[in-house]
Amino acid sequence: MLKSEDILSPFSITAKSSETKARAGVLYTRRGAIHTPVFMPVATQASVKALNDEDLKAMGVECILSNTYHLYLRPGTATLKQLGGLHKFMKWDRSILTDSGGFQVFSLSHLRKITEEGVLFQSHHDGSKHLFTPENVIRFQSEIDSDIWVCLDVCVRNPSDKKEAMGGLKSTKNWAERAIAEYHRTVPAQDIAQNPDGTFTVKHPLQFGIVQGSVYPDLRQEAAMHMRELPVHGYCIGGLSVGEGKEEMATALSAAVGFLPENRPRYFMGLGSPEDLWECVERGVDMFDCVWPTRTARNGRVMTADGNIYIRKTEYRLDERPIEEDCGCYACRNYSRAYLSHLHRSGEFLSHRLLSIHNINFLMRTMKIIRKAIEDDNFAEVKAQYLKRFNASKEK
């Protein structure tokens, strides 16, 4: 079996914050560069709900997330392979990271059974049974033909007692070894080269491992130390933001990051509120995905530099201003709060699209601010300013 040092990670760090652990960089995949810290919108079922590729590109989205469990059940990964892969299928030519189905171990816990071999899921569509193993989940991702693959893991619920957390971690570690071995069988020759200008040329999908361990720092450390030995291109931090407190989250995150190598990307799975992005970038995270901007948009909640607003509120009925004057997204350039409020009240699909565009764009802008703060090396100052303004309306 290969070791960590036997493979190259196509990730270059371009700037570091001197006062925090934040760093800016570029991760290269077969489909181009991803500038980190990055936010990746979620396209679970081969669609960032309500949006298309042009919407996402206009906002500068460089990578999206899709889901192996969901795509396996519908339309089927074999079908996707036959149709030329997920990129062609959904008309998205930039990077795609696929989650393994490990989150569904958590979110669909009543429909699955964990065994040593893998996870037996009962389909939430028709009740049919499907065994997901570390190995076949790699194969499914190969059929999907995504650019960044992820190991099947066990995302334990919160709260979990230590015994339960240890059990989840044990499976995650064991399965990681099996999944990564399967990845290297599927991609036998690593073809990643660093160019003279510092960029990388990547010819095949990348593999990320997942660090679990619930809220227990010693388990996070154990998980990170195990994962850092394995031949993967990057590290997911999983099993957080599932209901634990902010402090527990930060402690567990720091415990994991502290034992991960500097020169490979770290990806916090499932995080996306502006405050959380700042806090976790500060602790050394490079990549994020989250349902937050799109789900809350569909539910009428919109992010602004001055905090979140609920577009249905009576006060917006006659408000002719855009959501944000200086936003520049398609929704803000063209529509008033009054109109968006009306659309949402009326249950019009267009509100889902316009509010999702705004929220994703908002997070893309936030990531730009974060990257610039790292490059300018004034992270703490800019973070404080940003959060002060963002939270000002709450404090009243």
Residues that bind RNA (CB under 7 A): 42, 44-45, 48-49, 65, 67, 70, 99-100, 102-104, 106-108, 110-111, 124, 150, 153, 155, 210, 236, 238-239, 241-242, 269-273, 276, 289-292, 294-296, 298-301, 310, 312-314, 345, 347, 349, 352
Catalytic site residue from 55, 147, 153, 289: 289
Tell me the closest approach of the beta carbon of residue 70 to RNA, in angstroms: 7
Report the distance separating Cα 35 and Cα 302, nearest Å.
25
Q: Reduce the DSSP state of residue 224 to 3 states and report it.
A: helix
Q: How many CB atoms lie within 10 A of CB 380?
A: 16
Q: Which residues contact 227 (CB under 8 A, 6 or more apart)?
A: 173, 176, 209, 210, 211, 235, 260
Nearest to 322 by CA among 312, 332, 309, 307: 332
Q: What angle do CA 105, 271, 172 make, to 5 degrees?
A: 35
Report the distance separating Cα 383 and Cα 323, nearest Å.
22
Torsion of CA 76, 81, 83, 87, to 10 degrees: 100
Q: How many CB atoms lie within 10 A of CB 351?
A: 25
Tell me the closest approach of the beta carbon of residue 376 to RNA, in angstroms: 26
- Please confirm, yes or no, whether 289 is among the known catalytic residues: yes
**Quick one: 248 or 377, whose CB is closer to RNA?**
248
Tell me the closest approach of the beta carbon of residue 353 to RNA, in angstroms: 11
Helix (H) or strand (E) segment spanning residue 369: helix 349-375
Residue with tokens 């015994």: 163
Q: Which residues contact 170 (CB under 8 A, 6 or more apart)?
A: none
**Quick one: 149 or 200, whose CB is closer to RNA?**
149
**Quick one: 10 or 274, whose CB is closer to RNA?**
274
Tell me the closest approach of the beta carbon of residue 105 to RNA, in angstroms: 7
Tell me the closest approach of the beta carbon of residue 264 to RNA, in angstroms: 17
Tell me the closest approach of the beta carbon of residue 191 to RNA, in angstroms: 26
Catalytic site residue from 6, 55, 99, 161: 99
Report the distance separating Cα 269 and Cα 297, nearest Å.
20
Q: E strands within 47-180?
A: 63-67, 95-99, 112-114, 119-122, 129-132, 148-150
**Quick one: 79 or 349, whose CB is closer to RNA?**
349
Report the distance separating Cα 378 and Cα 285, nearest Å.
17
- Please confirm, yes or no, whether 286 is among the known catalytic residues: no
Tell me the closest approach of the beta carbon of residue 269 to RNA, in angstroms: 4
**Quick one: 200 or 205, whose CB is closer to RNA?**
205
**Quick one: 66 or 200, whose CB is closer to RNA?**
66
**Quick one: 196 or 347, whose CB is closer to RNA?**
347
Cβ(229)–Cβ(264) below 8 Å = no
Known catalytic residues are 99, 289
